[in-house]
Chains A and B, each alone.
Chain A
Amino acid sequence: MSQVAQRVQESMRVRMQDWLVRYGFIAVTVILFTWFILSEETFRQPSTLFSMLKFTSVVAIVGLGVTFTMVVGGLDLSVGSVAGLGVTVSAMMMVIYNLTGLFSGAMVLVAGAVVGIVNAILIVWMKIPDLLATLGMMFIIMGLKLLPVDGQSVSSKMILRDGTVAPGRFTDGFLQIDRLMIGIVPLPVVLWIVLTFIAWFMLTRTRYGRIMYAVGANPEAARLAGIRVEWYRASAYVISGLFAAIGGMILSSRIGQGDISAGNSLLLDAVAVALVGTSVLGIGKPNAWGTALGALLIGIVITGLTIKGFPYYAQDIAKGLVLVVALTFSFTLSRKKARFVPAT
């Protein structure tokens, strides 16, 4: 082969590679979506699509919180248990203490923020590596939330410790969080879009977001530019706790009772969508719309496989494959150096 031809082939290869890194993820999404649409009648109905989006919204919102911790170079493993805590707290407030839905929702947010603050203290000021601190918190929360409810799921008309019947129930208002439709769009989907927009705005358009990325990219250089690195890292964990709590609130409203196992499977999914999100458009960094698209892709895959009648365990295989393929775009094919994995 002549040298010129060789060089042309080489530059073709590089361009191919760059195209894959940029659009490979979106291409995979579109191809899968088209395949499901063409092959499955059910998949074509708007109701299927909206229920898919609704079902994905919780993972997506929790994943947004994880995105913030990844931006500062960390990772929050306690998000699934915080969402579960939200379910138990809201049920306890309404069913056992007969409080209003609004107050119960507020308490869920407070719980999420408190966990975030504790995570921040462990990681930023007590210098425990992110993964280990949040792993510890995950177990603590999973156990601690069962303490006031004696390890029982909380449902209306349950018998309490003193033999009486629980006085309250899930309020109608609270149940509307999951059920309300805005036009033809379910409220959780609207929340998902709004929160993604807010996160995107914070991370890319404000001073705060600029500093967050600086802290994640080079903490020492950020410090020498006058940034109080600790406070920004701490804020990421509080935001992560809040987003996880919002996810828990939607979940609680959907289940309509204080299921003690709720949220347990959320952690891996939420981390996965945030990781998948880094490869969207070859950005190579955690970002809000990427996380949203990552959640969407995983939602499409799971819904599609379910409709096609694959067994439930095929879902995990599919999620894992999506993650590995996405990471291949970021790490193997990209010529930029991907950097968002905590140093533990």
Chain B
Amino acid sequence: MNNSVEMKDISKSFGSNLVLRGVNLSVPAGKVTALLGANGAGKSTLIKILSGLYPDHGGSVLVNGSVATLDSPGTAKSQGIQTVHQRVDEAVVPGLSVAENLLFEKIATREKGTSGSLAKLLPEARKVAAALSLDWSDKFLRKDVYELDIADQQLLTLARAVVDKPSLLVLDEPTSALSASEVDNLMAVVRSLRDQGVGILYVSHRLSEVDALADHLVVLRDGVIRGEQDAPFAWNEALTQMLGDDAGDSASSAKEQRGSEDILTISGLKLFPRSAPFDLAIRSGEVTGVIGLLGAGKSETAEAMFGAGKSKPENMTLHNSEFKPTHPAKAIKRGVYLVPEDRAKLSMFADWSIQRTVTLPFLDQITRGFTLDNSREKKMGSDVIAELGVVAEGPAQPVDSLSGGNQQKVVVGRWLQGDPQVLVLDEPFRGVDIGARRTISAKARSLASQGRGVVVFTSEVDELLEVADRVIVMVDGEPRMDTYLSETNREEIVNTMSEVM
């Protein structure tokens, strides 16, 4: 069999954390192999190993039958493995022309005939473009890549990666920034590469693209390959493998709460260039769980509610009166709070204590006269510790020195010190132990039972089943299913998430 690249028993750990545990995967030449996996499944680690960024991995990688040493990005490329990373804007060199970018590696290695004027590069650049049936004029080749839109930049990085006809081309979420017609363009290029005999490893969360493009599908979860299929794919099975099916003890034992009154309504929210605007109403007295894969538009929706995002809905109401937060400060004033997705990056401050972190949005409450009242500040910190059972020495302990679960309790508990009308939690259980998860979801449910609105965004079915009353499934920037938990089940939710349009 003509295997272009074979990975044998690949493993990798960070400290005591085993991220890949014996992955065997082969990517045949002239085929598109899709790699699917949820957050933290180990996909990006695998990609980084292939592109030479993690030399100290276990197992071996064979290129055309012989063992490859992948100890730097340069050696990975020279042995025929090219990777196009997700952030294309970091891969192109602004200030240089398209042609220079296209032949950048040859210029960097001072290959003969690549020094001198731009005109000298053009014939070679034309050849590369033509090989991919890209219709690039000389004028386009002379353009500064700075002027290119993201779709052309994506095509350019792709073209650059295949200048030397690699054995394996790794594409990491290549379409996340593209519109529908741009995706079609890119897929045509990928198909033509496949037909020229390049082995392609396609990593994407967009099931419809994978469905249209891939010949073979591999599902990764917790660092292990959970399943493989040939096209046509059974998406249910793939999603179950990807998200896990061990319902275990996670099913919510709490009684379903149903609210009747709309507390926050959104209309005309358009998230992506290729998605349609949608309406959504959050009801008080219930926990709304929104589930979707990465890139389904969850964080964007959460930020829109909080006045923090780029996508602005046409209209929003809170308690039936107009709600147009142009800044998070305005949302907070009305009692709409957001616990953002990435706590270290978006909620924490280096070396800040629990009490400082907790009081920041509510400094008015602890100000007496001109000064901050230390005892009130301490009390608010202690309140959060007590209410959520944070394991800490005291309110003066730095948040960064706590465990992930306790950090999350602090950044959630902070907002309970205000007067939450609608509490929006974006991936509140990521990197959080089971105990903290229970505490936080119990807090969310009790807040809802007090007649407030609670929205939890997650990509894990288990988490959804534990916390939510109402279930909304988001796919590609739009809600696809909106029902109550008691009227649906895990299978149906996974089915909707895996719906391929």
Contact = CB atoms under 8 A, between A and B. Distances in A.
Contacts of A222: 360
B356 interface: yes
Interface residues of B, number: 27
B340 interface: yes
A211 B367 CA distance: 13
Contact of B340 (A211, A224, A226): A224
B372 A218 contact: no
Given A207-B363, A210-B356, A218 B328 contact: no
Given A205-B371, A210-B372, A224 B347 contact: yes
A338 to B, nearest CB: 10
Contact of A226 (B332, B345, B351): B332
B308 A210 contact: no
A206 interface: yes
Contacts of B53: none
Chain B interface mostly = mixed
A223 interface: yes
Interface string A28-50: 00000000000000000000000
Nearest to A223: B328
Interface string A332-344: 0000110100000
Given A206-B370, A210-B363, A226 B328 contact: yes
A225 B348 contact: no
Interface string B370-406: 1110000000000000000000000000000000000
A316 interface: no
Interface string B326-341: 0111011100001010
Chain A interface mostly = helix
Given A206-B370, A210-B372, A336 B351 contact: yes
Contact of B352 (A217, A223, A226): A217
A228 B371 CA distance: 20
B345 A221 contact: yes
A224 B349 contact: no
A337 B328 CA distance: 29
B350 A221 contact: no
Contacts of B329: 226-228
Interface string B351-369: 1100010001101100100
Contacts of B331: 226
A220 interface: yes
A218 B349 contact: yes
A218 B348 contact: yes
Interface in A218-244: 218, 220-228
B363 A217 contact: no
A215 to B, nearest CB: 10
Contacts of A245: none
A280 interface: no
A165 B463 CA distance: 85
A221 B363 contact: no
Interface in A234-281: none
Most buried by B among A206, A207, A213: A207
A223 B360 contact: no
Contacts of A205: 370-372
A214 interface: yes
Q: How large is the interface on A (under 10, 10 to 19, 20 to 34, 35 or more residues)?
A: 20 to 34
Contact of B346 (A206, A220, A226): A220
Contact of B350 (A206, A217, A223): A217
Interface string B298-330: 000000001010000000000000000001110
Contacts of B328: 223-226
Contacts of B332: 225-226
A211 B349 CA distance: 12
A228 B327 contact: yes
A187 B360 CA distance: 38
Nearest to B374: A205
Contact of B360 (A210, A228, A337): A210
Given A224-B328, A228-B329, A337 B363 contact: no
Interface string A305-343: 000000000000000000000000000000011010000
B349 A221 contact: yes
Contacts of B351: 336
A207 B362 CA distance: 10
B308 A218 contact: no
A222 B356 CA distance: 12
Nearest to B337: A226
B485 to A, nearest CB: 29
Contacts of A224: 306, 308, 328, 338, 340, 346-347
Contacts of B361: 225-226
Given A226-B328, A226-B329, A339-B350, A220 B345 contact: yes
Interface string A99-140: 000000000000000000000000000000000000000000
Contacts of B350: 217-218, 337, 339
Q: Which 9 A-B pairs have the closest CB atoms?
A: A226-B332, A226-B329, A217-B349, A207-B363, A225-B361, A225-B360, A205-B371, A218-B349, A226-B328
10 contacts: A206-B367, A210-B360, A210-B363, A217-B352, A223-B328, A224-B338, A225-B347, A226-B329, A226-B361, A339-B350
Interface of B: 306, 308, 327-329, 331-333, 338, 340, 345-352, 356, 360-361, 363-364, 367, 370-372
